[in-house]
Chain A
Amino acid sequence: MSVAAKFSQIGKPLPRREDRRFLLGKGRYLDDIVPPGVAQVCFLRAPHAHARIVGIDSTAACALPGVIGVFTGRDLAEWTTPLRLAPPIEGLHPVEMTTLPIDKVRFHGDPVAVVVARDRYVAEDAVDLIEVAYEPLPCVADTASALAPGAARVDESLPDNLVSHQSFSAGDLAARRAEAARVIETTFDLQRHTHVPLETRGCMADWDEGREHLTMQIGTQVPHPLRGQLAGRLGLSESQVTVISPDVGGAFGQKIALYREELAVAALSRHLGQPLHWREDRAENLMAASHARETRCVTRAAVRGDGRILGLELELVEDFGAYCFYPANYMARVIAMILTGPYRIADYSFDVKVVLTNKCGNGPMRAPMAITSWVMDGTLDAVARELGLDAVEVRRINALGPGDLPYTMATGEVLADITSRETLEGAVSAIDISAFRARQARARDEGRLVGLGLCTVVESTTYGSQFYKAAGIPGSGHEAAWVRIEPSGAVNASVGLMGTGQGYETPLAQAVAEGLGVSAETVTVHMGHTDIAPYGMGSRGARGATAGGGTLYLCARKAQEKVLAIAAGMLSLNDARGLRLRDGHVERRLDDDWQPTGLGLKDIAQRAYLDPTALPDKVAPGLDVSLTYDPPPMTYSNATHACEVEIDKFTGRIDIRRYLVAEDCGTVINPLVVEGQQHGAVAMGLSGALFEQVIYDETGQNLSATLADYLVATATELPKVEIIPMHTPNRSTPAGIKGMAEGGIMGAIGVIANAVNDALAPLGVTATRMPLSPQYIRALVREADENQERTGEA
């Protein structure tokens, strides 16, 4: 661990400081801080996938005792402006949506009307009493029907349902196909997921009529961007809105956008002049919060006889649902941009279609590019299978090695400081492939299906502003921080991130402590309050460590410089050269050794705040330092997952026998927290690959609106994950941090599919879609049996 050696605070496995309040039942999640008596909000949701709203009669609902009011899209349109997404991006249609639907509903669960009542029970009673007349419209429940000529249009302002279409080509694919021994086509169908944070969405809006100020308490990943949205759509200035995020019970990407319900609650608080609280129930969360994934990819690899990929073509179609809370190209585009990842493929093209359907709108879910590594490594496995080659050798012949770096991908993205070749070898050796192959051969002789999968991940963790610009995605990648040493020497700091369970309070304190030269215990990091935190882009992707931790680290270093400048004055030195702050004490380098000076941070702080005339020239009073930072265009971490499975061919059940991850995520700020993220990401990836599925029938009815229908893996379904740390620092980021927390999902989805297909290989069938349910696997086995019978008869 040479990386950690040069740090004193970074790299320590400190248990998290937020734990105490959570363990005692004293966390402050939104519902825990709503004062008694606050009126409650509840939404009426559409029972149809696609229908005109002909009329809404709320007479009976309004007459119910305890009901404060019933409001519709038409009412809200008076108090809010629509969301218009029209970034100047080629191939992407501009779209607009009102706060609540006015003329028609576009998916089962679309909010139609909103009730304000004295409590939640009465509000739900009132919702049942609202009469809505609908005129059902034909619905498009999948991309094929949405793209068919004459299909019903989800968004009638667009010419058709193809909301975004982008393509790209580098090199000469036709020439590569001509040279190739084979062109191998492979399909990957990743089903519709949803995030399922244990705490559903909710908010409390409080309009202060006297100050003309809105306080919005809401669990959010992005306090400042959310404030901007709220202010803009309510016609307020940003100084009239404060967003405060209390403790958040998980988000996973679901708590980034300003949703229509939240805006409605804020607008109604202002309209009614009273605080309002909304908490969605689980059915609403599963049906109408945000969905994700549902992407189909087809690759065509032009290959040499030895498995070397000469050219690669990708066709991607994403089912985006009915509404765009994000630019529709955002998630799909990233997949296409980074697909080739750990492999050397210069001739590459993509065609990416994003399609509107009558389903809940898509958004980013932890690893929005989740499918990427399955598609890439699954393509390599298909090449190996088709050509009868060893899957590891096919990876090796295509892999980027240390000598290839920095490597400019066909899409123009630059990979540097990654070790995907090393983690591949690390995983291959840890899992002991030759011993496995021997076991597998014996098992096959007994008619058992065992398989081994590998999946190498190059995870795009931290998007710098330049990446967004180059990729044609609107957004900034910067982050902002302040570090304030109080007169007592206590250290407060803040950053624009907002944690939703990761445990930022401890590792970010470690980043500050490292940069400043104090112990982490003395640092408190404040997040989630827009009047306190600086304007940053919040928590999304895996930017927390590199953008958040990196900005705090740099800011704290800047603070240390000021501390040392003051110390130099107090020590009657000309400048701060040869001084450092360590554990809150100023040390001086004398004869290659660091000696105490007797000065502590408190002495410096007292001087800075309370005796400013004694400060050196050009040193301003106080110890209040801020800094903004834009990370490199893209920071990557990497990992190789390996997994051994056995399939019960009679029931189709997949049993994971062993699971390991060899990972390089750069400098690790807190190994305990990183391990937690590794476990959690693998778990979410496996849960998605094996169980989760948002189900719509052909009429657009959502059939998975309970947790008994939307299946999330429990403790009995998940394996123990072995982790092999192979961290190396990034040379372009603060402290060498790379970031992580999404790659585990990419790897898990890919590796389980690859392992299953290795197990199924003797049967000559391949799983191409998820979830890998026992029904599906059993159907593949049956298909193989039937094929065999047919061949036998012939």
Chain B
Amino acid sequence: MLNMRLAQPEHLIDLNDLIELDRVIDHGEWVEVGALTRHHRVATAPEIRQGVPLLADAAATIGHYAIRQRGTLGGSLVQADPAAQLPLVAVTLGADVMVRSRRGRRTVAAAEFLRAIMSVDLAGDELVTGVCFPRQPDGERWAFDLFSRRHGDFAIVAVALTLQLDDAGAIVALRLGVGGVGPVPMRLTAVEQRAVGLVPDGDTILDLARNAAAAITPEDDPLVPAKYRRDLVETLTARALRRVTADWPEVTT
């Protein structure tokens, strides 16, 4: 933005040296990730891999190796690119964004924090200090998938989901988030509700994926027709559901 002279701020504050914001704290029910935690650490930290594996998997797909060494969780959330990985995961998991200013602290749900394309609920004197991700329950399955023209590019469409099954193999809970199809990432709650109680076999998966595609209203742009995004949502959702069902590795406990 600055190099292209699209933004010419009067003041620019470098936060990189606030190393106390580069942190991962396991609070049990939730995992707190500091705003300055680099993508590489988000992808590899044991507390995240164990407690919020969807977040770790998503972070590993961001950009390229060198980019993941510098990019931060807070930076990604505040930039609020509609196709970015971390805002999508934050919305899908119902994470809380922690905000602080001289006036005090507040916490805002990720889905409310992200207001529109590249626009967030943050005042000029406020700073995002971290994000609290609810711990994914034991036995929950998860998948993150995206489609981009080239490896490491911003996604055209990204899908994040978690799934819990009961002993009979029926869906207890599905969380399904999609990015790249609107101004902000969104949960497809109608599809999530429809899924409950269903046994995710081939036909059910196809039906849920079709419903996901029908639930979004992307816009045409010069390069990517709305139809194409819809097709991708269907395909990525179906593949992610297959990955967490038929293709889910059997783990002996």
State the A residues within 8 Å of B (CB). Answer: 124, 128, 283, 650-653, 691, 695, 697, 703, 706, 708, 711, 713-714, 716-717, 773-775, 778-779, 782
CB contact under 8 A between A774 and B149, given known A283-B4, A651-B232: yes
Top 3 nearest A-B pairs by Cβ distance?
A716-B151, A650-B235, A775-B228
Measured in the bound complex, the distance between the Cα atoms of B152 and A283 in whole Å is 21
Measured in the bound complex, the distance between the Cα atoms of B234 and A778 in whole Å is 13
Which of A128, A283, A650, A708 is the one whose CB lies under 8 Å from B153?
Answer: A708
A selection of 10 A-B contacts at a CB cut-off of 8 Å is A697-B222, A703-B222, A711-B149, A711-B153, A713-B150, A716-B150, A775-B225, A778-B231, A779-B227, A779-B228
Which of A124, A773, A782 is the one whose CB lies under 8 Å from B149?
Answer: A773
| Contact in complex: B147, A651 (CB < 8 Å) | yes
Shortest CB distance A70–B (Å): 18
Which of B4, B5, B223, B235 is the one whose CB lies under 8 Å from A775?
Answer: B223
Measured in the bound complex, the distance between the Cα atoms of B227 and A779 in whole Å is 9
| Contact in complex: B224, A714 (CB < 8 Å) | no
Shortest CB distance B105–A (Å): 36
Measured in the bound complex, the distance between the Cα atoms of B152 and A711 in whole Å is 12
Q: Which residues of A contact B222 (CB under 8 A)?
A: 695, 697, 703
State the B residues within 8 Å of A (CB). Answer: 4-5, 147, 149-154, 222-225, 227-228, 231-232, 234-235
Shortest CB distance A430–B (Å): 28
Q: Which residues of B contact A691 (CB under 8 A)?
A: 149-150
CB contact under 8 A between A779 and B235, given known A124-B5, A711-B149, A714-B152: no
Q: Which residue of A lies closest to B232 (CB)?
A: A651
Measured in the bound complex, the distance between the Cα atoms of B225 and A711 in whole Å is 18
| Contact in complex: A651, B149 (CB < 8 Å) | no
Shortest CB distance B61–A (Å): 12
Measured in the bound complex, the distance between the Cα atoms of B149 and A697 in whole Å is 20
Q: Which residues of A contact B5 (CB under 8 A)?
A: 124, 128
Q: Which residues of B contact A716 (CB under 8 A)?
A: 150-152
Shortest CB distance B121–A (Å): 27
Measured in the bound complex, the distance between the Cα atoms of B225 and A779 in whole Å is 9
Q: Which residues of A contact B152 (CB under 8 A)?
A: 714, 716
Measured in the bound complex, the distance between the Cα atoms of B152 and A717 in whole Å is 11
Q: Which residues of B contact A695 (CB under 8 A)?
A: 222-223
Q: Which residues of A contact B232 (CB under 8 A)?
A: 651
Measured in the bound complex, the distance between the Cα atoms of B4 and A607 in whole Å is 63
Shortest CB distance A402–B (Å): 43
Which of A697, A714, A775, A779 is the one whose CB lies under 8 Å from B151?
Answer: A714
Q: Which residue of A lies closest to B234 (CB)?
A: A650
| Contact in complex: A782, B227 (CB < 8 Å) | yes
Q: Which residue of A lies closest to B151 (CB)?
A: A716
Q: Which residues of B contact A651 (CB under 8 A)?
A: 147, 231-232, 235
Q: Which residues of B contact A713 (CB under 8 A)?
A: 150
Measured in the bound complex, the distance between the Cα atoms of B64 and A714 in whole Å is 11
Q: Which residues of A contact B149 (CB under 8 A)?
A: 691, 711, 773-774
* Most B CB within 10 A of own CB, among A708, A774, A782: A774
Measured in the bound complex, the distance between the Cα atoms of B232 and A651 in whole Å is 6
Q: Which residues of A contact B150 (CB under 8 A)?
A: 691, 711, 713-714, 716-717
Q: Which residues of B contact A714 (CB under 8 A)?
A: 150-152
Q: Which residue of B lies closest to A716 (CB)?
A: B151
Measured in the bound complex, the distance between the Cα atoms of B6 and A612 in whole Å is 70
Q: Which residues of B contact A773 (CB under 8 A)?
A: 149, 223
